Amino acid sequence: MKLILRNLEMAILGLGFLGLAWGKNKLHGYATPNGTAKSDVAGQIDYLIDIFGSFRRFMPPQFDLRDRDVLELSPGGSRGNGVLFLALGARSYHAIDIFPLAESENVAFYEKLLERFPEGGKADRERALAIASTPGAREFGYAVGRDFDIPRLAEGRRFDLIVSCAAFEHYDSPATAIAGLTQVARPGCETVHIIDLQTHSRWIREQDPNNIYRYPEAIYRLFRFPGQPNRQRPSDYVGSFKAEGWSDVSFVPSRTVDPALRDASLRGLSARFAGQADMTVLDGALRAGYPERGGDRKKRLVTTRRAVLGGLAGIATLASFGRKQAANGQGTDIPLFRRGIGVSHALGWADVEADGSYGAAPFSAPRFSFDQAQRLAIRAAGFDFVRLAVDAGPYLAFVGAARDQLDERLIGIVGDLLDADLGVIVDLHPSAMNPAYRPAALTAGVDTPNFQAVLALQQRLAARLWQLVQGRAGAPKLAFELMNEPEVPQETWQPMLEASYRAARSGSAQLPLVLGGGSMNSPWALPAIDMRPFAGDARLIYTYHDYSPWQFTHQGVRGSPAYALDEIAYPAPPSADAMIAATRRRMTALGLEGAELALAREAKRTLPGYAGFDRSALERNFQVVSAWRIAQNLPAHAVLMGEFGVHKTPYQATPEGAAARETWLRDMRELAEAQGFAWACWTYVATGGFALAEDEIGPGFDAATRRALGLPPL
């Protein structure tokens, strides 16, 4: 009864606020683009830098602005964002609006803005100010029209990046605006739109953030005026972008309703909004990409290990505000994994013959030994589980007795780990050792022969692992991860993920499963998963990988964009000059040519943007995943950061480099634990530079690694 009375009171008050907003518009028109007074120069600059930071936060990781043409929709009272885009190397900036709110901006304001914005090279910053100071410069365009005809107002331009902030919620017809911006998007264009979904009127915005959703459409429209919030929800925006042919569409929540207000905010809503799973979302970012000709997305740098090693890869996200998981103890039937370590040397990267095929015993070489001393050392160090990488290739290629022997080897290793009081996540981890079973070949489509074979393998292993569980006392900490780092976008991976889930569940209805998103388990892929096919299954863990910033974690890795980078520090200093100088020296010493040289130059160009990267920048991915977890009503321990790690280089043998490595590992671990996520660091024993074991062979761990990972001292 108390909630009913409160919501009735808020509904009545809300009508008053709607009336006030309508009256204000009739008297003064639309003239207040943000709450900061025009005379408050410092406040205006803070506002712009905050907005610009939001754009960059939600752009694809390491999106390079150099030589890009940028369009901003409805910039409000300032084109300052355009100056900042130009300062980072953008070729041009154009703004389109309904009202001429930014036509009289003073050039002196741009000078002060750049004084507060330390990024960008000197030449780019000088060029940005010169362009912004030139009346009518085509590289700094501004067009206004009450019809908001985007193609006409674009004046023949096409764009590589289209952004807006707090604009789309005010459009009477977002679908029309989306159709218009699609016409001026180049193939490969990225788009980011910060959208405020909650009640806009002050005071009631804080007390009842969903107030505007309490009224039927007929009542709400009685107070209609230009710019009135349109009450569209994330799924509406996503649907409109998809209808225009955009791909990898996602809405990433930024803020959700305060838990203290959640119950009240979700009750008493109009029938159109009652029961929608996304009504706890207050604001967030709409992200999408316009396909290249032929349907492929432009490939970009991302933050997972295989993506970085592969050079360039696609970020993909798709709308996924499916229904919340059932509230009857979601996640209570999954093991409580906490601190883990990847083990890749026992069953990963199988040996191949000269022709690329598997020999009779692909895991028989001495390097595959995983003995009791190693298992006990892992447990004694304080880890409670192992993420066991299993190269899928031999398990798909072998048949009959040979296949049975492989299965028994896997089950034996898992049993030995359980006997050592270690939990186990069996990670189906394809490698490129045999070209026929490389990751891309196994995820080419749900109906392909290769993927059908993967489904049979998932069913078989789920059944075998469940048999192992049933043969043991208690409830062993065991789970099955269905696929490591799918390379395809989430919208392509979704049907394969659903098929994998069904296959594993046909092998065992009870075995805990680990599911991950596309784009190589990017953190941004989790919000893109359509959760409806998994609703009500309390035995699921969701995983992502995070190797950001790749400039630091992958410096010196052969085959990666960061191969030529050197002395990349973490936290990054305010200036990138020393890192750029060290990288130039390394590039000269390496004598790179052709594609390797071009890739090295591209990586070096990202260093000015990397300057100042610190723990707060790392935290952004954790915030994205946490907001998604809350929206899906998942317990924190149902999220696993399944991989993170850093490559050792000669720089990290120096005191500065060693301290940087320890700090990064500690920050990643602490950020995961602060969210309540399980984590597994990559990797135990290896020769590629990512090994955590002392001297890469162990069996124990050095003091710095123990400190960084929060493990007890010897």
Residue pair 363/395 in contact by the 8 Å Cβ criterion: no
| Greatest Cα pair distance in the chain | 84
Burial class (CB in 10 A: 0-12, 13-18, 19+), 476: buried
Residue pair 531/322 in contact by the 8 Å Cβ criterion: yes
Total length of the chain: 714
Q: Give dist(CA 604, CA 62) in Å, integer.
A: 12
**Position with higher pLDDT, 116 vs 516:** 516
Residue pair 229/212 in contact by the 8 Å Cβ criterion: yes
Interior/surface letters 134-145, b for 16+ CB within 10 angstroms, e for the rest: eeeeebbbbbee
Beta-strand relationship, 140-144 and 247-256: unpaired
Backbone angles phi, psi at 692, to 5 degrees: -90, -25
Q: Give dist(CA 566, CA 582) in Å, integer.
A: 6
Residue 205 vs residues 30, 165, 224, 228, 276: alpha-carbon distances, Å: 19, 18, 18, 15, 20
- Which part of the chain has CATH 3.40.50.150? 2-298
- Per the structure block, which two tokens stand in for 307? 């993506």
Decide: helix, strand or coil at residue 186. strand
Beta-strand relationship, 185-196 and 92-97: unpaired
Architecture of domain 2-298: 3-Layer(aba) Sandwich (3.40)
Decide: helix, strand or coil at residue 620. helix
Average pLDDT over residues 632-649: 95
Q: Give dist(CA 439, CA 305) in Å, integer.
A: 14
- Which part of the chain has CATH 3.20.20.80? 339-355+384-556+623-708
Residue 77 vs residues 42, 145, 253: alpha-carbon distances, Å: 14, 15, 26
pLDDT band at 702 (very low <50, low <70, confident <90, very high): very high
Q: What does the pLDDT read at residue 548? A: 94
Q: What does the pLDDT read at residue 253? A: 80
Hey, which bits of 530-626 come out as E strands? 540-545
Q: 574 Cβ partners below 8 Å, 6+ apart? A: 118, 611, 612
Range with the poorest average pLDDT among 330-334, 600-604, 708-712: 330-334
The mean pLDDT of the chain is: 87
pLDDT band at 62 (very low <50, low <70, confident <90, very high): low
Q: What does the pLDDT read at residue 228? A: 77
What topology is assigned to 339-355+384-556+623-708 in CATH? TIM Barrel (3.20.20)
* pLDDT of 338 higher than 60: yes
Q: Give dist(CA 528, CA 491) in Å, integer.
A: 8
Residue pair 513/540 in contact by the 8 Å Cβ criterion: yes
Q: At what angle do helices 107-116 and 122-132 cross, to 10 degrees?
A: 160
Q: Give dist(CA 322, CA 84) in Å, integer.
A: 37
Intra-chain end-to-end CA distance of the chain, in Å: 59
Interior/surface letters 637-659, b for 16+ CB within 10 angstroms, e for the rest: bbbbbbbbbbbbbebbeeeebee
- Which of 128, 127, 122 has its CA nearest to residue 580? 122
Backbone angles phi, psi at 71, to 5 degrees: -115, 130
pLDDT band at 305 (very low <50, low <70, confident <90, very high): low
**Interior CA angle at 610 toward 605 and 612, to 5°?**
145
Q: What does the pLDDT read at residue 2? A: 61
Q: What does the pLDDT read at residue 24? A: 59
Q: Give dist(CA 483, CA 517) in Å, integer.
A: 9
Complete DSSP assignment for 113-131: HHHH---S-HHHHHHHHHH
Q: Give dist(CA 404, CA 393) in Å, integer.
A: 14
Beta-strand relationship, 281-289 and 185-196: antiparallel
Average pLDDT over residues 466-474: 88
Q: Give dist(CA 537, CA 495) in Å, integer.
A: 18
Q: What does the pLDDT read at residue 320? A: 29
Q: Give dist(CA 652, CA 439) in Å, integer.
A: 31
Which pLDDT tens digit goes with each residue over 130-175? 999 998 899 999 999 988 999 999 998 999 999 999 899 988 889 9
Q: What does the pLDDT read at residue 207? A: 80
pTM: 0.64
Decide: helix, strand or coil at residue 677. coil
Q: Give dist(CA 193, CA 443) in Å, integer.
A: 31
Range with the poorest average pLDDT among 141-155, 309-323, 489-503, 605-619: 309-323
**DSSP bridge partners of 640:** 543, 678
Which pLDDT tens digit goes with each residue over 233-278? 988 898 899 889 898 888 888 778 887 787 787 888 888 888 776 7
Q: 361 Cβ partners below 8 Å, 6+ apart? A: none
Which pLDDT tens digit goes with each residue over 18-58? 566 556 555 555 544 455 566 688 888 988 998 998 898 88
Q: Helix %, strand %, coil % for the chain, to 5?
A: 45, 15, 40
Whether the ω angle into residue 229 lies within 30 degrees of 0, i.e. cis, is no
Residue type present at position 356: G
Q: What does the pLDDT read at residue 208? A: 80
